[in-house]
Amino acid sequence: MSASVSLDDLTLAYHRQPAVRRISGRFAAGSLTAIVGPNGAGKSTLLKGLMGLVPVSDGQIRLDDISRHDIAYLPQSAEIDRSFPIDVLDLVSLGAWRKAGFFGRITGAHLARVADAIRAVGLEGFEKRVIGSLSGGQLQRALFARMLVQDARLLLLDEPFTAIDARTTADLLRIVRNWNAEGRTIIAVLHDIELVREHFPQTLLIARDLVGWGHTSDVLTRERLREARNLSENWVDPFESVAA
């Protein structure tokens, strides 16, 4: 299940304004990595770059021995259109497209996997609830279920635990740990430094530029966090809302 990702002097930009600058390093196969940094540091932009949603301005992203079909992406909850008339069952079933194809038929085996995923995230009985009626935690559980169905080797999570209750956070962290135990590579944008210290062995700290990348205890030092904060205070930021 493992997949590795290498960044070679990577720069990503919006309207010629760099949001991520000259980042080099490697997400090792089977690693569990948090991306942290100040608001506007380019954390979400980096995930979108890995997905191919933001073009590379300079440098290179190398997906070692995987294709983009092997990647599952969880966007920020604010990017989900909750007014779209889709229920939990259909939302989770979207994860089956990787195996069925966009125009393929959802088989009984696919539906069984969907049912297993809904059960795994604690949403049994919610299958016919439209997503607009769900709480923030319930919606996040449904999105995790969709990723379970996708069965991808590389998982990209953008602020997966923001604005949800402690019980949901604990349940979803359990799923993340299970994914990691299966050898999947997981990269998550996070704001809660203490949660990162407790649950994520690897950390990438950026402030548009690379500040630190490696073992979490070595990266999240007082000095490096201060360096990231100092860098952010010098920004002139016309695109902070999209580069966060």
Q: Which residues pair with 155 in a beta bridge?
A: 72, 186
Residues 53 and 165 in one domain: yes
pLDDT at residue number 128:
97
User: How many residues are given for the chain?
Assistant: 244
Report d(CA 210, CA 25) in Å as an integer. 9
Model pTM? 0.91
Sorted by sequence, the CB contacts under 8 Å of residue 151 that are 6+ apart come out as 95, 98, 99
Residues 62 and 183 in one domain: yes
Q: For position 158, which CATH number holds? A: 3.40.50.300
Report if residue 73 sits inside a domain. no
Residues 162 and 202 in one domain: yes
In the numeric block, the tokens 């952010």 are attached to 232
Residues 139 and 161 in one domain: no
Residues 211 and 157 in one domain: yes
Residues 228 and 195 in one domain: yes
pLDDT at residue number 238:
46
Domain boundary among 152, 177, 209: 152
pLDDT at residue number 239:
45
Report if residue 161 sits inside a domain. yes
Report d(CA 221, CA 53) in Å as an integer. 32
For the record, the structure tokens of 178 come out as 């299970």
pLDDT at residue number 98:
67
Q: Which residues of the chain have pLDDT under 50?
A: 238-243
Domain boundary among 152, 176, 196: 152
Residues 54 and 168 in one domain: yes
Report if residue 62 sits inside a domain. yes
pLDDT at residue number 206:
97
Domain residue limits at 182 = 1-66+153-238
The residue type found at 239 is F
Residues 17 and 117 in one domain: no
Q: Which residues pair with 212 in a beta bridge?
A: 205
Residues 166 and 223 in one domain: yes
Report d(CA 196, CA 34) in Å as an integer. 7
Residues 17 and 130 in one domain: no
For the record, the structure tokens of 138 come out as 């319930």
Report if residue 243 sits inside a domain. no
Residues 60 and 171 in one domain: yes
Report if residue 71 sits inside a domain. no
Report if residue 244 sits inside a domain. no
Report if residue 75 sits inside a domain. no
pLDDT at residue number 233:
87
- Asked if 196 contacts 36 with a C-beta cutoff of 8 angstroms, the reply is yes
Residues 159 and 62 in one domain: yes
Domain boundary among 137, 152, 167: 152
**For the chain, what is the domain count?**
2
Report if residue 124 sits inside a domain. yes
